[in-house]
Structure 1
Amino acid sequence: MTVSSDAEAAVRTYSYLGPAGTFTEAALAQVPEARGQVWHPVRNVGEALDDVVSGRSDAAMIAIENSVDGGVSTTQDALATMPGLRIVGEYLVPVQFVLVGRPGATLADVSVIAAHPVAYGQCLVWLGDALPAHAHVPSSSNVAAALDMLDGVGGADAAIAPPGILEHHDLQLLAENIGDNPKAVTRFVLVSRTVAPPPPTGADKTSLIVELPDDHPGALLDMLEQFATRGINLSLLASRPIGDELGRYRFVVDADGHVLDERMADALLGLRRFSPQVVFLGSYPRADRAIVHYPSRYSDDVFVEARDWLRGLISGEPEE
């Protein structure tokens, strides 16, 4: 009989959008507890999250928002409809692109470029200046563009890819930093099965998905007031169709603060009374570690004092 060591028993598996060299892999590399563990590449967000739900992986790294293209709709919809998941961390990855070719290639050899449509759209200015006569072959992913080009699939001479791919494949670097927006960033989240949120740090974010009760004037305002009247800033508000009929939407919300903050807890109670469906995705430290500031009238002490005051009224305690 073979007895597993404690080290073997502690091995964890992380799913991420592969293959090696993707921006998602770069995000996973930022997770200290993932280093030295098993990294499992998958083909799409749904597969990564299904790995977590089924127990094949302990956590999954997925992209949720891009500073240029906005929210990642496939991720937002998956989180809204797959129960038993919890965001436990967020990570930011600068989005820079390189142009790569086969070994020995030069920029003068390039006439057809393979690229994922989103990556291609973020490099149009550079391409128009450096290679105005090129043709574009769409690819399923940033890494697939380079690998298909390397294998001769699609007839491309070069590919737009993440810089990390050069660490894994024998490719010729033809140009770097070709993205049109040097400040482009993609936000990734690490998702596990449902767990209790970590303690507040003072620099936290809470993610939710909220459905409106019905379609009437002011319905969205009613939802937003649950946050505004408690001094909670929203860093993301995105609508996604529920899909059962026209005019029905759910809203993806990122709110500054932690569920254990009195003002956030009070807002969630208000949302629960207001909305037919509230999905709590998690409270977790912000990637930028920026401290959340709010007016003193929304401090925890104010909410606690107000509840104590109400209990006193109900119990008949004499007022001081």
Structure 2
Amino acid sequence: MTTPPSARRTYSYLGPAGTFTEAALAQVPEARGQSWNPVRNVAEALADVVEGRSDAAMIAIENSVDGGVSTAQDALATMPGLRIVGEYLVPVNFVLVGRPGTSLADVSLVAAHPVAYAQCLQWLGRELPGHAHLPASSNVASALGLIDGTSDADAAISPPGILEHHDLQLLAEGIGDKKDAVTRFVLVARTVAPPAPTGADKTSLVVELPDDHPGALLEMLEQFATRGINLSLLASRPIGDALGRYRFVIDADGHILDERMADALLGLRRFSPKMIFLGSYPRADRVINRYPDRYSDDVFVEARDWLRGLVSGEPEG
């Protein structure tokens, strides 16, 4: 049974077809058979969600080679009304493509997004030592320029998915220098209640320090350390209003409904003049969060009940 057009959900993603972002969106079960809206950049994708043109947007947030995606982190920190509802991992593999009839021996000018180019330098230096680089605006745009004639390049570095959508000559595959490179994507919707804890969850936050003094960052990190919470991401981004002013993008293992995480968020709220809760959601790798017994939910509940008993005058026993 097909979904009525009026009931179809819309998902925005960095297009055009064939991008790694499209591959991440293809992992979302509820997005299959729905409307997919290719956009030109992260800000446009998130604006679609905020303004109601899309139900959710898929954006890249972190790469295992290059680290955090600053444009995405800054957008999430400054655009209100958004909530991360899921994360997805996509292996980053690159292919070299050319116009039909092109051979590797014909290639002297390679079009590529600067990040993709940097991730393929070893292969390029070995197989095409005399080549020159023509920067492109995206991994897919590098290949589309070959098709529409707007690029002078002989070949382009692109995601493998480009071959499913366009008639291009595959010149080489698996040309990335890091064979296990992965990009992490997040699905972002309007503010909603977080899904129930699974035991394999992640919580994303943006936190600003209250002021610049020795130990301020340590005080923030202690909110997690004293509650046994591991951080899988800690990235600093300039706030932009003055030199030396930074906000911190944080991924913490656990869920807001976990007692230890809730306690940490209360501590952060008291500590920071501005803290943004971006969401609690299942980890893409589904790895169960482990922590010492002294940080279990039962311990936090017992301590709170103990204090309540002291306040109410109950005898200790």
Instruction: Give TM-score, length-normalised by structure 1.
Output: 0.98
Cα distance in 2 for partners of 1:285, 1:212 equals: 27
Q: Which residue does the alignment assign to 1:92?
A: 89
Deviation of residue 318 (structure 1)? 1.3
Q: Which residue does the alignment assign to 1:61?
A: 58
Q: Given the alignment, which residue of 281, 293, 305 partners 1:284?
A: 281
Q: Which residue does the alignment assign to 1:187?
A: 184
Deviation of residue 21 (structure 1)? 0.2
Q: Which residue does the alignment assign to 1:232?
A: 229
Cα distance in 1 for partners of 2:299, 2:6 equals: 47
Q: Which residue does the alignment assign to 1:256?
A: 253
Q: Which AA in structure 1 matches 2:205?
A: L
Q: Which residue does the alignment assign to 1:271?
A: 268
Q: Given the alignment, which residue of 143, 155, 169 partners 1:146?
A: 143
Deviation of residue 183 (structure 1)? 0.6
Cα distance in 2 for partners of 1:301, 1:227 equals: 18
Q: Alignment identity in percent?
A: 84
Q: Given the alignment, which residue of 30, 45, 66 partners 2:42?
A: 45
Partner SS state of residue 239, structure 1: strand
Partner SS state of residue 4, structure 2: helix
Cα distance in 1 for partners of 2:15, 2:159 equals: 12
Cα distance in 2 for partners of 1:73, 1:231 equals: 28
In the alignment, is residue 106 of structure 1 matched against residue 103 of structure 2?
yes
Deviation of residue 8 (structure 1)? 3.0
Cα distance in 1 for partners of 2:220, 2:83 equals: 22
- Correspondences of 1:1-320 after superposition (within 5 Å): 7-320=4-317
Deviation of residue 10 (structure 1)? 2.3
Return 5+ residue gaps in structure 1 as ranges.
none
Cα distance in 1 for partners of 2:287, 2:3 equals: 37
Cα distance in 2 for partners of 1:278, 1:116 equals: 34
RMSD: 0.9
Deviation of residue 313 (structure 1)? 0.4
Cα distance in 2 for partners of 1:131, 1:175 equals: 11
Deviation of residue 6 (structure 1)? 7.0
Cα distance in 2 for partners of 1:9, 1:197 equals: 26
Partner SS state of residue 178, structure 1: coil
The number of residue pairs the alignment matches comes to 316
Partner SS state of residue 247, structure 1: coil
Cα distance in 2 for partners of 1:245, 1:127 equals: 41
Cα distance in 2 for partners of 1:149, 1:68 equals: 27
Q: Which AA in structure 2 matches 1:123?
A: C
Q: Which AA in structure 1 matches 2:14?
A: L
Q: 1:26-68, CA deviations, whole angstroms, 9 ceiling, x for partnerless residues?
A: 0000000000000000000000000000000000000000000
Cα distance in 2 for partners of 1:95, 1:154 equals: 24
Partner SS state of residue 61, structure 2: strand
Cα distance in 1 for partners of 2:8, 2:212 equals: 48
Following TM superposition, where does structure 1 have runs of at least 4 consecutive aligned residues deviating by more than 6 angstroms? Answer: none
Deviation of residue 285 (structure 1)? 0.2
